[in-house]
Amino acid sequence: MSDGRALARVYLEQQRLLGTDAVTLPPAGLAASPLPDLAPPASRPPAVKTTDLPPAGLAYDPPARDLFSADPLQQVTTLRGVAELVAPCTRCRLCEARTHTVPGEGAEDARLVCVGEGPGRTEDQTGRPFVGQAGELLTKILAAIGLAREQVYICNVVKCRPPQNRTPLYDEIAACVPYLFRQIEILAPRVILAMGNTAAQTLLDTKQSLGALRGKVHRFRGIPLIVTYHPAALLRNPNWKKPTWDDVRIAHCLLDG
Ligand code: SF4
């Protein structure tokens, strides 16, 4: 692919994710960079104080667990129980080509839950979320706020890989999202980090763009929710390193606040 076409692809992806007017194309060399450095900036900015938190955003409060429902998902009380329901699931067409379901993994007592879009090829092969380059980036992002990957819970909106890593369709998300909602209900985290358009729009029940949703403290069932870029998008666009760092600092403040 020519450099011009590669840049155009980056530009269109930025437009899709940002939904904003001003987009800066990265230099050609950066666009091809396989693994941008996501370490905190050399001159590390001060931590966000609770008094400096961004304004409140959206609040989404879908119905919580129904104790009297016959739905097995409503009866499970552990993350393992959710994973056991996900494993044989055929609620949507994404079951047809999957190798493994990818329910999520992490600490049962996680204070931070990171939510992405869906499993990729490596995740489908291993049954684990965020492995490969995007996973390495996520580990760096977490390390920047002093968290080991094992201390958080990492999962996706859909638990089976969409073909060719396409964006999950509306009906697929609708079929799968009860698993995610139940996981969050069981975990009861202190903060949710929604990474990318699909996670942000699903957890906030909105069509607003990622660009419009960043920089605010939203709420999912009362839990503070911060929106940032998906690590896979950062792999393509190192220019988003600083905004991502800004988002993560806000989440860090909320975790410790
Ligand atoms: S994506 Fe979700 S709803 Fe669809 S088959 Fe997989 S686990 Fe079931």
What pLDDT does residue 51 have? 77
What pLDDT does residue 212 have? 98
Residue type, 50: T
**Token couple for 131:** 């492995």
What pLDDT does residue 241 have? 85
Q: State the virtual CA torsion across 106, 110, 112, 115 in degrees, nearest 10.
A: 40
What pLDDT does residue 39 have? 54
* The residue to which tokens 């980090």 are assigned: 193
Question: Ligand 1, from 71, 82, 96, 101: best to mutate by most atoms within 8 Å of Cβ?
Answer: 101
For residue 127, the CA-to-ligand 1 centroid distance in Å is 13
Question: Ligand 1, from 90, 117, 181: best to mutate by most atoms within 8 Å of Cβ?
Answer: 90
Q: Measured from the CB, is residue 160 less than 6 Å from ligand 1?
A: yes
Radius of gyration of the chain from Cα atoms? 18
Q: Measured from the CB, is residue 82 less than 6 Å from ligand 1?
A: no
Please report how many Cα atoms fall inside a 13 Å half-sphere around the Cα of residue 180, on the Cβ side.
31
- Mean pLDDT per segment of 10 residues, for the chain of length 257 residues? 52 46 41 47 64 92 85 95 98 98 98 98 97 93 93 98 97 98 98 98 98 98 98 93 93 91
What pLDDT does residue 64 have? 84
CA distances 191 to 31, 69, 208, 220, 223, Å, are 32, 28, 21, 9, 6
Say how far apart CA 236 and CA 73 lie, in whole Å. Answer: 37
H or E segment to which residue 114 belongs: strand 112-116
CA-proximal residue: ligand 1, atom 4 (nearest): 92
What pLDDT does residue 63 have? 87
Contact criterion met (CB below 8 Å) for 19 and 209: yes
Q: Measured from the CB, is residue 177 less than 6 Å from ligand 1?
A: no
